Homo-oligomer: A and B are copies of this chain.
Amino acid sequence: MSLSFPLNREHFERLDRDDPLCDSRALFDLPSGEIYLDGNSLGAMPAHVPARLERVLKQEWAHGLIRSWNDADWYPAPQRTGGKIARLIGAGAEEVIVADSTSINLFKVLVAATRMRPGRKVILGENGNFPTDVYVASGVAELTGCELRCVEPEQVLEALTEDVAILSLTHVNYKSGRRYDMAAITARAHEVGALVVWDLCHSAGAMPIDLNGSQADFAVGCGYKYLNGGPGAPAFVYVAERHIPHVRQPLTGWHGHARPFAFSHDYEAHPTIDRMLVGTAPQLGVLALEAALEVFDGVDMQVLRKKSVALCDLFIQLCDERLAGLGVELRSPRDAEQRGSQVSLAHADAYPVMQALIARGVIGDFRAPDILRFGFAPLYNRYVDIWDSVQALREVLESGEWNRPEFIARKSVT
Contacts and interface: CB of A to CB of B under 8 A. Distances in A.
Interface stretch (A9-17, A88-96, A207-215, A229-237): A229-237
A327 B157 CA distance: 70
A232 B281 contact: yes
Contact of A131 (B45, B60, B264): B264
Contact of A278 (B45, B104, B284, B367): B104
Given A61-B231, A263-B367, A412 B70 contact: yes
Contacts of A304: none
Contact of A232 (B127, B131, B260, B282): B282
Contact of A61 (B45, B138, B250): B45
A391 interface: no
Nearest to A229: B284
Interface string A38-50: 1001101101011
Contact of A135 (B47, B231, B254, B365): B254
Given A42-B66, A263-B368, A282 B283 contact: no
A66 B53 contact: no
Interface stretch (A29-37, A311-319, A332-340): A29-37
A261 B66 contact: no
A411 interface: yes
A103 interface: yes
A70 B104 contact: no
Contacts of A413: 69-70, 75, 261
Contact of A251 (B67, B139, B284): B139
A252 B136 contact: yes
A134 interface: yes
15 contacts: A38-B65, A44-B62, A45-B61, A74-B231, A103-B251, A103-B254, A103-B278, A127-B265, A131-B260, A131-B263, A136-B252, A232-B281, A232-B283, A234-B282, A282-B284
Name the 10 nearest CB pairs between A and B, nearest first: A101-B279, A103-B253, A231-B283, A139-B252, A103-B279, A132-B254, A69-B413, A232-B283, A135-B267, A45-B62
Given A53-B284, A135-B253, 12 more contacts: A49-B57, A50-B58, A54-B54, A60-B231, A75-B413, A104-B279, A107-B250, A131-B257, A132-B253, A232-B285, A233-B284, A282-B282
